[in-house]
Structure 1
Amino acid sequence: MKKIGLLITSVIFSAISLFADESVIHVGVLNGPTCIPAAYMIENNKTVTAGEKSADLSFEKFADPQALLPKLIKKEVDIGFMPVNVAAKVYNSGNKALLLCAVTGKGNLSLITTNTEIKRFTDLKKKTVYVAGQGATPEYMFRYILDENKLSYSSDGKTADVKLDFSIPTAQIAAQMISGKIEYAVVPEPFATIAQIKSDSVKAALDLQKEYLELSGSKEIYPLSVMVVRADFAKENKELFEAFLYEYEKSVSWTIANPAEAGKLTEKAELGLAAGIVTKAIPVSNYVYIPADKAKKQIEEMLSIFLKCDKTSIGGKLPDKNFYYGQKTK
C-alpha cells in the first residue's frame, strides 16, 4: 500500500508539473537586431489570454540560431526566430518539426564603404568585399546581385571580378572599416548604422534591397528573419498561440512607431545593443509582421535564390505548403 501511495503521489505531482508546463509558452529570442521588437513584449506581456485560457510567457535569450535550434527540437522552446533558410532547412530535414508562422523582418543590407566613388555595383570590380556571415542571407543576396550584374566572384579573387571575404565576424566589421583595415563590406542593420555613427567617413553606398527589386521585378523586399513555432505546440495550443501572434504583431507596430522608447527597452532587456544605436537603426531596419500564409510568394522567391547558390542551404528543395502556418486574420 505504501508503494501504491508513493506511486499515486508521483503521478499527481507529474500531472501538476505537466499542467504547469502547458501553461507557459517558452519563447526563444536572439540577442542582436532580429528580436528588437520582442523587447516590448518582454517588458509588458507577462501572459497571453484566449477566452478562458491563459499562459505565462517565458523568454530565453540565445546568441544565435544554432544555439536556439536544439532547444526547439528538444521541445524546451516553443517559439523562436531565425533566418528564413534555416527554418526551411529544418523543415526539409524530414521531421517537419518547425513551421514558419510569420515574417518579422525584411531585407536591410547595405554595402558600406569609405570610398566615395562607389555609385553602382559594377564599381566593385577588382575590390575585396567583406561579407557579414558565410552561408547566410548577406552572402547569397550579394552573390545574386553580382550574378545579375555579370560580375564574377570568388573567395581567392585570383580569377574573379570581386573577392568575397568572410573572415571578420559581423560585430567587428564596423571597427575594422573605421580603423582603415578594410574598405568595403556588406552588412545588415544595425551594423551599417553603427559604422556611420562612429565615423563620418563611412557611407552606405549601395542599397541591396533597391537593387533586388530592380533586378528581380519583385514588388516586395525579400524576407530576412522569420518566427517559427513547433508544429505540435501550434496544433495543441492553437488559441493561445494565435493570441501570442496577435500580441507580437502589436509589439512590432509599437516598436516602429516608438524607436526611442524601443531602444531603451532593448537595452533594458539586455539584447546586446545600446539604446541609441537601436533608436537610429529601427527606421531603416524594415521590421514587419506578415503572416506566413500571406508571405509565401516572397519567401519562395528568396528561397529560390538560396537554392540556386547552394541547395544544402535550405535542405535541397522548396518546402511544401504545409511549412506555412495558416493563422486566422485578427
Structure 2
Amino acid sequence: MRIYFKKVMAVVSIAGVLVISGCQKVGSVNPIEIAALNGPTGIGMVKLMSDQENVSKKYNINLYESPDEIVGKVVSGEVDIACVPSNMGAVLYNKTDGEVELLGTNTLGVLYIVENGDSIQTVEDLRGKTILSSGKDSTPEFVLNHILEANGIDPATDINIEFMGSHADIASKVVTEEGSIALLPQPFVTTVLANNEQMKVALDVNEIWKNAENMDLPMGIMIGKKVFAMEESKQLKNFLKAYEQSVKFVVNNPKQAAALTVAYGIILDVEIAKKAIPACNIVYKDAEGSREMLTKFYEILGAANPKSIGGKVPDEAFYASTK
C-alpha cells in the first residue's frame, strides 16, 4: 500500500508544525529558522503559508522524520522555533536549563485504535488482544498504557503490545492481516481505511483520555528560544494571531485546506486529506491556555517514566507570556 506522505524540506512545507513566525527582525535578511516534524500539526499552517507565498522569505522551515533529529538543533541554538511532540518540549526545557519556552499547543489527540475486523467496541474488548504500535518508550506507549490502566487493564499482563519501527510498517501490516488491531495516528488512519473496506476506527484515544482525565490529550506543541522570543516579541505576537486565523480556516474549510495540504506536499492525495483533516484535532491554544492541560499531562508521563519528560515536570517559567 502507499502511505500518502513525503518529506518536504522547504520554506513553505510543514507538518509537525509549529512555525511561528512573522517574526523577523526589522532590517534582517536572515529568515527565521524553524524545525518541524511531518504530521498533522503542519496542516494548520497551510492557509498562512499560502497567503504569504508572494512575499519575501520570512521562514526557513525544515521538516524532519524523527524528533531526535530536531533535539540537537534546538540544544545548539540552530533553530528559533520548533514544533515537537508535547513530551519533547519538556525534555528540551530540562535539557537546555530553561532556554526554551512553550508558545502554544497546536495538536490534540490524533491517536486511534483501528481494526481489520469488527470485534472492538470498547476498551474492555482489547483485553487479551495484540495491538500493533510504534513509539516504544515514548508518548504513544505511555498514553496507551495509561488509558488501559484507567479502564482496569494491565498492559503488562492483560494485553500484548507488539512494537514496530514506524507508522508506515504498522499501516502495511494491519491493512493486510485480517483481525489485526493497531494504534495509529492521523492521517495514517484515513489512509488504511481507504485501502481496505474491512478496516474501521474502533476507538478514539482522545475521547478515552478525556473520559479518564477530564481534559484533552495534548500531542503537539510549539516551542521557541527565550532569547528569540524576547528580541522578536511584537513579531511573535503578530504571527501567533495569524497562525490562529490559519487554524480556523483549516478547521472550517477542510476541502480548501486539503488542496493546500496536497500543494505543499504534506499529504499527497486530496481525498485522503479531506477525510483526515477533521480527525487531526488541529487547534491553537496559547501557552497560558495550555498550562493546566500540559502540566497534568507531564505529571502523568513523569509518573510512568521520568525520562519521558527529561526528569521532571517543567516549572512555571516554561509557559511563555505572549499577552
TM tier relative to shorter chain: 0.7 to 0.9
* 1:318 CA drift (Å): 0.9
Q: Which has the larger radius of gyration?
A: 1
Q: For 1:265-317, what per-residue CA distance to the aligned partner results, in whole angstroms no more than 9, with x for missing partners?
A: 22221235433222111111111000011110011111122112111000121
* Residues 133 and 184, structure 2, Cα contact 8 Å, conserved in 1: yes
RMSD: 2.2
* 1:194 CA drift (Å): 1.3
**Separation (CA, whole Å) in 1 of partners of 2:207 and 2:173:** 26
Structure 1 residues without counterparts, runs of 5 or longer: 1-17, 49-53, 155-159
**Separation (CA, whole Å) in 1 of partners of 2:41 and 2:26:** 32
Q: Which residue of 1 aligns with 2:217?
A: 222
Change (3 A) 1:32 1:272: farther
Structure 2 residues without counterparts, runs of 5 or longer: 1-24
Change (3 A) 1:73 1:273: farther
Change (3 A) 1:23 1:94: closer
* 1:32 CA drift (Å): 2.9
SS of the residue 2:107 aligns to: strand
What aligned pairs does 1:184-203 form with structure 2 within 5 A after superposition? 184-203=181-200
**Separation (CA, whole Å) in 1 of partners of 2:267 and 2:191:** 13
* 1:175 CA drift (Å): 1.9
Q: Which residue of 2 aligns with 1:3?
A: none
* Residues 47 and 57, structure 1, Cα contact 8 Å, conserved in 2: no
2:40 to 11, 20, 33: 33
Equivalences, count: 299
* Residues 115 and 202, structure 2, Cα contact 8 Å, conserved in 1: yes
What aligned pairs does 1:171-320 form with structure 2 within 5 A after superposition? 171-180=168-177, 183-216=180-213, 218=214, 220-320=215-315
Aligned-residue identity in percent: 29
Q: Which residue of 1 aligns with 2:7?
A: none
* Residues 101 and 324, structure 1, Cα contact 8 Å, conserved in 2: yes
Change (3 A) 1:304 1:139: same
Q: For 1:104-148, what per-residue CA distance to the aligned partner results, in whole angstroms no more than 9, with x for missing partners?
A: 011122111123121211212221111132233221111001112
**Separation (CA, whole Å) in 1 of partners of 2:109 and 2:293:** 12
Q: Which residue of 2 aligns with 1:92?
A: 94
Q: For 1:60-99, what per-residue CA distance to the aligned partner results, in whole angstroms no more than 9, with x for missing partners?
A: 2222322223223333321121111101011012521221
Q: Which residue of 1 aligns with 2:78?
A: 76
**Separation (CA, whole Å) in 1 of partners of 2:91 and 2:219:** 15
Q: For 1:121-180, what per-residue CA distance to the aligned partner results, in whole angstroms no more than 9, with x for missing partners?
A: 1212221111132233221111001112221223xxxxx111111124112322211111
Structure 1 length normalisation: TM-score? 0.84
Q: Which residue of 1 aligns with 2:147?
A: 145
* Residues 32 and 273, structure 1, Cα contact 8 Å, conserved in 2: no
* Residues 130 and 168, structure 1, Cα contact 8 Å, conserved in 2: no
Q: Which residue of 2 aligns with 1:111?
A: 113
Change (3 A) 1:104 1:324: same
Q: Which amino acid aligns with 1:322?
A: A
Shifted more, 24-33 versus 194-203: the winner is 24-33
SS of the residue 2:255 aligns to: helix
Q: Which amino acid aligns with 2:49?
A: I
Change (3 A) 1:34 1:136: farther
Structure 2 length normalisation: TM-score? 0.86
* 1:21 CA drift (Å): 4.9
SS of the residue 1:68 aligns to: helix
